[in-house]
């Protein structure tokens, strides 16, 4: 399983802006609700998060220390 | 496809206008479809058109001499860009590029003047829009000129790093922005700057601290 941006369906108003900005077709509206499709091509550009007005989509980062 | 009157009604520029007025304005509006990554306005060039986003999203940005991009705003449906040079006659202060497929409604500079002359109440709407824009840009300027933002972002990363046993909390750029008291756009740039300085590496959804000492130095902690 590959990590993907997270959607809060309660907050999503189905405007579709995130779908338009995503380069890898990882987002789609199914039954008026935005749905994420696993895609290796998603490079975590965070454009979907940046464009969403309602804060319904988020691209959280995991912060790790490199083993020395 | 004809310009949608319903849509024009929702544009802040035209709020309060009736159908007859919007109908006459719509005759001066043209449609322009642009593809992902297409630049529709180039910084420094003369401005000929005012644009409203009808669908999709456009980013307005400036490019530094070293080629670094700073996003000034993301323009969403109903919002406008390129207003300033249309009104003051100067060159475009920033570039604008489609973030995906975008449909724009454009108005020629001269036609905008005609619209103003024929529908004076629009002036108040425009003042409102521009005032809001100034407010947003002023807070961005504050953030950008405040060099400590990078060190605050460095500190946030340091304080949220996952331990050996478990994962630390995951943070979005939006959350980091709220913590650093800055705009999301500034966090994006700070992360890139930290990566260029060799302190971190962005690996998709992971931020790897590759040089702890360098990060601490940026945080202002003597090592
Ligand atoms: S941009 Fe936000 S509100 Fe609009 S469809 Fe995407 S997740 Fe939903
Ligand atoms: S992070 Fe970028 S590539 Fe991944 S789903 Fe969002 S817009 Fe698409």
Classified as helix, coil or strand, B151 is: helix
What confidence tier does B167 reach under pLDDT thresholds 50, 70, 90?
low
What's the mean pLDDT in A3-27? 93
Using the predicted structure, report yes or no on whether residue B56 has a pLDDT greater than 70: yes
In words, the CATH class of domain B5-131 is mainly beta
**pLDDT for residue A53:** 93
- Quick: pLDDT tens for B64-105: 887 778 888 889 899 999 999 999 999 999 999 999 999 999
Count CA within 13 A, CB hemisphere, residue B44.
3
What percentage of chain B exceeds 90 in pLDDT? Answer: 69
> Distance between alpha carbon A41 and the CA centroid of its chain, in Å?
12
Residue B20, CB-side half-sphere exposure with 13 Å CA sphere: 2
* B139 contacts chain A (CB < 8 A): no
Distance, C-alpha A12 to centroid of its chain: 12
Q: Which pLDDT belongs to residue B142?
A: 74
Q: Which two tokens stand for residue A4?
A: 């993907």
pLDDT at B223 over 60: no
Q: Which ligand is nearest to the CA of A54?
A: 1
pLDDT score at B222? 61
Q: How far is CA B180 from CA A52, B137, B143, in A?
A: 21, 18, 10
pLDDT at B1: 58
pLDDT of residue A15: 92
CB of A20 within 8 Å of any CB in chain B? yes
Residue A21 vs residues A9, A28, B74, B115, B163: alpha-carbon distances, Å:
19, 11, 11, 32, 34
Mean per-residue pLDDT of chain A = 92
Q: What is the Cβ-side half-sphere exposure of residue A25, based on CA atoms within 13 angstroms?
A: 0
Domains of chain A: 6-55 (3.30.70.20)
Residue range B135-144, pLDDT digits in tens: 988 878 877 7
Of B86, B217, B85, which is closest to residue B151 (Cα–Cα)?
A: B217
Distance B97 CA to ligand 2 centre (A): 17
Is the CB of residue A13 below 6 angstroms from any atom belonging to ligand 1? yes
- pLDDT on residue B146: 61
pTM above 0.90, yes or no: no
Residue nearest to atom 3 of ligand 1 (CA): A12
Q: What average pLDDT score do residues B18-30 get?
A: 95
Are the CB atoms for A36 and A4 separated by under 8 Å? yes
Ordered strands of the B49-55 beta sheet:
B29-34, B102-108, B49-55, B80-81
pLDDT of residue B164: 53
Identify from A29, A65, A66 which residue to disrupt to test chain B contact, counting B C-beta atoms within 10 A and taking the largest count.
A65
Query: Do B154 and B219 form a contact (C-beta atoms < 8 A)?
Result: yes
Task: Please give the average per-residue pLDDT across B187-204, as a whole number.
Answer: 94
Asked if B121 has any chain A CB less than 8 Å from its own CB, the reply is no
Q: Does A26 touch chain B (CB under 8 A)?
A: no
A22 ligand 2 Cβ < 6 A: yes
Domain ranges of chain B: 5-131, 144-219
Please name which ligand lies nearest the alpha carbon of A46: 2
Cβ pair B140, B179 in contact under 8 A: no
Tokens standing for residue A7: 């959607």
User: Best-predicted range by mean pLDDT among B57-66, B145-154, B207-216?
Assistant: B207-216
Q: Which of B20-29, B113-122, B162-171 is the least confident region?
A: B162-171
Q: Write down the ipTM of this complex.
A: 0.88
- Supply the DSSP symbol for B12: G
Structure tokens at B155: 């500190």
Phi-psi region of A35 (alpha: psi -120 to 50; beta: other; left: phi over 0): beta
- How far, in Å, CA of B40 to CA of B96, rounded? 6
Closest alpha carbon to B99 in A25, A60, A7, A20: A20
CATH class of segment(s) B144-219: mainly alpha
Name the closest residue on chain B to residue A17, using Cα atoms. B56
């Amino acid at each position: 399983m590959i990590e993907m941006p997270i959607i809060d369906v309660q907050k999503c108003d189905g405007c579709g802006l995130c779908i338009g900005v995503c380069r890898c077709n990882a987002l789609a509206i199914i039954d008026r609700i935005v749905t994420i499709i696993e895609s290796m091509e998603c490079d975590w550009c965070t454009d979907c998060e940046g464009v969403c007005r309602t804060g319904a989509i988020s691209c959280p980062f995991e912060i790790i220390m490199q083993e020395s | 496809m004809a310009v949608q009157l319903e849509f024009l009604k929702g544009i802040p520029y035209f709020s309060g206008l009736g159908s007859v007025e919007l109908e006459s304005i719509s005759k001066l509006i043209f449609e322009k479809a642009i593809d992902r990554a297409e630049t529709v306005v180039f910084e420094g060039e003369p401005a000929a058109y005012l644009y409203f986003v009808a669908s999709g999203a456009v980013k307005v940005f400036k490019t530094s001499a070293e080629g670094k991009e700073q996003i000034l705003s993301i323009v969403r449906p109903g919002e406008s860009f390129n207003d300033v040079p249309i009104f003051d006659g100067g060159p475009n202060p920033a570039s604008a590029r489609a973030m995906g497929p975008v449909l724009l409604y454009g108005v020629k500079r001269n036609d905008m003047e005609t619209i103003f002359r024929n529908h004076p109440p629009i002036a108040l709407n425009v003042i409102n829009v521009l005032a809001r824009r100034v407010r947003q840009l002023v807070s961005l300027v504050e953030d950008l000129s405040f060099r400590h933002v990078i060190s605050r972002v460095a500190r946030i990363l340091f304080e949220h790093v996952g331990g050996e046993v478990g994962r630390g909390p995951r943070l979005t750029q939006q959350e980091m922005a709220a913590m650093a008291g800055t705009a999301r756009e500034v966090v994006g740039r700070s992360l890139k700057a930290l990566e260029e300085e060799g302190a971190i590496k962005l690996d998709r959804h992971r931020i790897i601290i590759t040089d702890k000492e360098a990060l601490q130095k940026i945080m202002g902690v003597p090592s």
